[in-house]
Structure 1
């Protein structure tokens, strides 16, 4: 069986998470909105416990957490919901980056069609955005700055802390933290980050559940208008019956992420040494500044070797990718690597390897042998 090296797409589910989810599927199956009996009360308690655990990861309050289906939905609520607010009627400029996930870029394209002006900041070849370039793009009519915390394709961490330090109070700040929630702790605890999008399935929880963290700043939250209506759940921003088993699983995953952060990171760093050694033997060119890279991700180009061919050759040995899972059916070149200014050949040969503390050892000499035959 192939060793799974696509944890940026989704992680395995921790056994403690699975056990609790099964309990809320098979035994505690009450609706959290049913307050007239003990099944509903216990379901509601499970939801609120999970809300506390998710909030704790970023140093937020329990009532700051709005459960969604994942970071994509959270991103859409932020971008489209803020644009539809009263503030969005008068301030119609947004600053973001050209390396955002499509869950940000596509809603921004929609807003442009609605008359908004969007400024996208490009990275340099390091894969990082210049914080000052973001701040310089802010105007009196800027409503929002939306910057991902770490890129899903390269693992490069963006200078969110520098942006928070210089951003005017009037501008709302949104961070897509799908790749860093529960992995980089301190930066996301900044009270200047107003809105944070997260997904459970990136931190060893279930797919189909995530959250939007919406903090109060100076006594106010960002004025988000709902995209759906009916039921009033999640402060009216995400109506519908709460998926208690998914929410409970997310809560445990968040609790474990905070508790085991140091050990998980150490395991990822140790595994990284083997990856770097193997790729160096193949003459690999690492994409992005490794001083600012997450410890569990490597984007590397293997000269003379098409990435699609490499993945086929490694089928049954390694399960890896050449970009975002959300665009894996597209044969267009990575918009992230293009924005970094990499040459076409280097982009075509780029592979993304992403692992975790649960990843078993890999026979790297064998991997190198398979790939060397194709070069």
Structure 2
């Protein structure tokens, strides 16, 4: 059995979630926008319950949450949707980091081409952006700060909750890409963050559904402009027929994960400790601040080996990746590791191991470590 060690890319849908999704696909299959019959009414009520449950998870109001296809769409709506307000107010300065996911960096590149000044912070070897580094760059014309919650390659947790408290008294909005931390570290996301993007498929929900939390500041809401038009759904910010099965599945996934979260975190940490123990026979460096990291993501560079070749050596043991699934076709050094100032040889050979404990426990850890050690010693298995 090949163990699955690529959970940062996506996860298996929970059986409990799959059951709920199937029900709303083949039995209660109504359109939540249909107002003239019970099928539509039941779908509308299901969406409302899901919205209320997810908003409660984030300590927000139901009307502050809209559904999207996932974090990438939410990031685009948050970043590009706030741009017209910035242009109108002559506030075209944006602070972000060089280690963001491409779903943030590429919209920022687009804004740069429109005349926005994008200030990207390089965090150094820790991979953690300091609050002070952000605050010292604030200007009267700073429209927003966009900082991810948990880095998708290194697992390093960014200080978004602390930053939110600092920015709440300013006119600068804070956007957080919470794709990797959603569900796992909910307390951080309950801080007064203005915009929170998330996906469901990192915690056992189906692919293709997520959300954007648009948290009010008192009576004022974030002044977003829609990117698409064609209906009044989702506060007129995201038109289109709502995918009721996926939305209900997302809410169920959060419910299931929340009930198991404490145990899950402990088991993920226990697997991490056993894995690092087995790797003591190899030569590697850990990338990122290990004092501020989630328990289920490891980023390592193994001395003297090519990461892609090593993955082939390990294919009968584990499914893993060099980094983000969105850039896995590229063999260039990781932009995250490069931005951390890690030497090119190590940045080119960064290997990401990420897991859910129930799937990771299928791994024969001792054999896994032996294969790497033998490969480093020049023995081809």
Tell me the TM-score normalised to structure 2 length: 0.96
How does 1:27-42 map onto structure 2 within 5 Å? 27-42=27-42
Q: What is the CA–CA distance in structure 1 between the aligned matches of 2:247 and 2:166, rounded to whole Å? A: 35
Q: What is the CA–CA distance in structure 1 between the aligned matches of 2:280 and 2:164, rounded to whole Å? A: 37
Partner of 2:178: 177
The Cα offsets for residues 313-334 of structure 1, whole Å up to 9 and x where unpaired, read as 1112100011000000111110
The Cα offsets for residues 127-183 of structure 1, whole Å up to 9 and x where unpaired, read as 111210111111000111110011000000011133123224211111110000110
Partner of 2:151: 151
How does 1:198-277 map onto structure 2 within 5 Å? 198-277=198-277
Q: What is the CA–CA distance in structure 2 between the aligned matches of 1:316 and 1:62, rounded to whole Å? A: 46
How far residue 86 of structure 1 moved from its aligned partner, in angstroms, is 6.1
Which has the higher mean CA deviation after the structures are superposed, 355-364 or 68-77? 355-364
**Residues 2 and 362 of structure 2 are in contact (CA less than 8 Å); yes or no, is this contact kept in structure 1?**
no
How does 1:26-175 map onto structure 2 within 5 Å? 26-85=26-85, 88-167=88-167, 168-175=169-176
Q: What is the CA–CA distance in structure 2 between the aligned matches of 1:49 and 1:87, rounded to whole Å? A: 37
Unaligned residue ranges in structure 2 (runs of 5+): 377-381
Partner of 1:373: 374
**Residues 92 and 141 of structure 2 are in contact (CA less than 8 Å); yes or no, is this contact kept in structure 1?**
yes
**Residues 17 and 252 of structure 1 are in contact (CA less than 8 Å); yes or no, is this contact kept in structure 2?**
yes
Output the aligned Cα RMSD: 1.2
Which has the higher mean CA deviation after the structures are superposed, 251-260 or 10-19? 251-260
Q: What is the CA–CA distance in structure 2 between the aligned matches of 1:243 and 1:119, rounded to whole Å? A: 37
How far residue 299 of structure 1 moved from its aligned partner, in angstroms, is 0.4
Q: Assess, with a 3 A threshold, how the Cα gap between structure 1 residues 88 and 329 changes in structure 2: closer, same or farther.
A: farther
Which has the higher mean CA deviation after the structures are superposed, 148-157 or 82-91? 82-91
SS of the aligned residue for 2:175 comes to strand
Q: What is the CA–CA distance in structure 2 between the aligned matches of 1:319 and 1:121, rounded to whole Å? A: 32
Unaligned residue ranges in structure 1 (runs of 5+): none
How far residue 224 of structure 1 moved from its aligned partner, in angstroms, is 0.3
Which has the higher mean CA deviation after the structures are superposed, 345-354 or 133-142? 345-354
- Runs of 4 or more above 3 Å deviation: 86-89
SS of the aligned residue for 1:94 comes to strand
The Cα offsets for residues 172-231 of structure 1, whole Å up to 9 and x where unpaired, read as 1111100001100211101x2010000000111000000000111121111000000011
Partner of 1:312: 312
Partner of 1:16: 16
How far residue 10 of structure 1 moved from its aligned partner, in angstroms, is 0.4
Partner of 1:322: 322
**Residues 304 and 349 of structure 1 are in contact (CA less than 8 Å); yes or no, is this contact kept in structure 2?**
no
